[in-house]
Structure 1
Amino acid sequence: MDPAQRGIGHAIGRHALAASHAAGELMVVLLGRTWVVQDGVYSPTGSPSTELCTTALPYPAGGSFLEIGSGCGVTVVHALLHGCTTAVATDVTPQAVANTRLNAELHGVDDRLDVRSGSVFDPLDHGDRFDLVFWNAPSLLDAEDPEVSNALSRSYFDPGRQGLSAFLSGLRARLTQGGRAFLGFDDLGDCVGLRALAAEHGWRLRITACEVAPRRAVVEGRPIDVEVDHLLYELFPGRGPQPE
């Protein structure tokens, strides 16, 4: 990945995280509903990715849903309001776990949602499998920034690609027969590297939704305006050409 592009991505990520830290508790409106965003949890209105992915996912009627990195809970709650019977959400941030539970209660789906604390698939039981698995993953795969040290920073940064590697290596064991998997990402990160990493673990990627949005970064004291592609990928088993 080009070092200049990486620097811009890191600057945007740090700015977004600083804004989340400064905002405190918020009430936001998204997808026609009001959501509580508690202190220490990344806001789903910080970029278009939450709305893009949440509206594009094919929720299985009567099926089960797993969301990795639920944040304040918008997507997993939406899934339960749009066809899924049961859902599990995991998040590495204790504040996000509590926030997801709060919004599930607010929208009346808490009796069908199990929220667990931990990284990627770690909180799941051995036999847990789902009809739909989704993660709106951090796009900055290889951050080495010393500021990336708290749990909230996982919204943007995945140092050493540890999270994505765990997701891609453990995904097959978490899908039901015929189950589907989706990954949110953006081109602030290394999309070519993502495809290569997916191929290493036996997965191909296909873009199923995309939205381009302007973002501003400050690099070495200079403001830079960039357009960011927010992407939703579906994952398919295999190492051949990417599916059309």
Structure 2
Amino acid sequence: MEAQDFELLIGQNIIQRYHSDSTRPDVFELLGREWDLLDDVWPPAYSPGGELYAHLIPFHEMSAFLEMGCGTGIMSVLAALAGTERVLGLDINPAAVRNTELNAKRHGVADRVTARVSDLYSAVEPGERFDGIYWNPPFLNAPADVVDSSIWHETMFDPAYAKMRHFLRAGRELLNPGGRAYLWFGEALGNPTLISDLADETGYELHVLTKIEMSEIPEALVDAFPGDLVGGDENEYAAWHLHLLELKPR
């Protein structure tokens, strides 16, 4: 099976897994805190990401921070709790914007956190600049002709990594001097040099803050992966390589 077709299959299965989950909670626990979870927002409890390593991001040195694809708003809230004075969460999903606002209120940082509906940077206002920009982006490079504009396809797929390129290129213009971009990215299903190649292409120096190699699929998602395509030492799709990356403009 071609890599793009495999990634399409996995993404479709994960979306179906989400829609068929009758046990999805309205409130979940992560990092020792409780978080609100609205319908039509990706549940971080399924497969926690960069928020588990938020302590590696120097929020305390930032006066302004932007979280792209804020979802439930965990990273935005953590930045505000760490002392960042102005936090902006952006998401194409209106439910995610509401969810971020709810969690900012729940954790007492609503005065520091603003959330807006945005297609990538479209809702950034003129003159806004940031010391840090973070994204947990779509990992899957599905064929463009089968990807639609639904919230779940937007969340799951990035054909030819066009969104990633725009995030990096346009983000350079939104960073204050000395600012950094941060990515939580999984190079599990395709090109292991993708991010370093994109960093070179868009003018960043790349630093790996943490790298995790997993030989097993996250338990909450294991049934989304075809049994004959996971596991086994020789299977090219079996290993997950997850990174929290810091990117400094050259």
TM-score norm. by structure 2 comes to 0.83
Q: Deviations over 1:133-179 (max 9, x none)?
A: 11111112354372654113333211242311211111121111211
Q: Contact 1:16–1:46 at 8 Å: present in 2 too? A: no
1:29 equivalent to 2:29? Answer: yes
Cα distance 1:218–1:62, how it changes in 2: closer, same or farther (>3 A)? closer
| Partner residue, 1:210 | 211
**Residues 11 and 21 (structure 1 numbering): CA distance in 2 closer, same or farther, change over 3 Å?**
same
1:205 partner letter: L
Confirm or deny that 1:16 pairs with 2:14: yes
Confirm or deny that 1:182 pairs with 2:211: no
Partner secondary structure for residue 138 of structure 2 = coil
Aligned partner of 2:164 in structure 1 is 164
Percent identity over the alignment is: 32
Distance 1:58 1:15 in 2: 36
* Conserved 8 A contact 1:137-1:164: yes
Counterparts of 1:190 and 1:148 in 2: how far apart (Å)? 23
Residue pair 1:49, 1:231 contacting (<8 A) in 2 also: no
The aligned runs of 1:1-244 (5 Å cut-off) are: 4-23=2-21, 26-61=26-61, 63-144=63-144, 146=146, 148-188=148-188, 189-213=190-214, 214-215=216-217, 216=222, 217-219=224-226, 222=228, 224-225=230-231, 226-238=238-250
CA contact (8 A) 2:211 2:244 kept: yes
Consecutive unaligned residues in structure 2, runs of 5 or more: 232-237
Q: Gaps spanning 5+ residues in structure 1: where?
A: 239-244
Please state how far the C-alpha of 1:46 moved relative to its aligned partner: 1.9
Query: 1:100-134 CA distances to partner (integer Å, 9 max, x unpaired)?
Result: 11111111111111101112211101211111111
| Deviation per residue, 1:166-220 (Å, 9 max, x gap) | 111111211112112211100134342332233222123221112233214534x
Preserved contact between residue 25 and residue 39 of structure 1 (Cα < 8 Å): no
Residue 60 of structure 1 aligns to a residue in which SS? helix
Q: Quote the Cα distance in structure 2 between the aligned partners of 1:172 and 1:45.
A: 31
- Tell me the CA shift for residue 4 of structure 1: 4.6
Counterpart of 1:222 in 2: which secondary structure? helix
- Count of matched residue positions in the alignment of Structure 1 and Structure 2: 235
C-alpha separation in 1, matches of 2:247 and 2:31: 25
Which of the two has greater strand per residue?
1
- Does the 8 A contact of 2:67 with 2:88 survive in 1? yes
* TM-score between the two structures when normalised by the length of structure 1: 0.85
Query: How many angstroms apart in 2 are the aligned matches of 1:148 and 1:56?
Result: 35
- Amino acid corresponding to residue 172 of structure 1 in structure 2: R
- Residue type of the alignment partner of 1:116: R
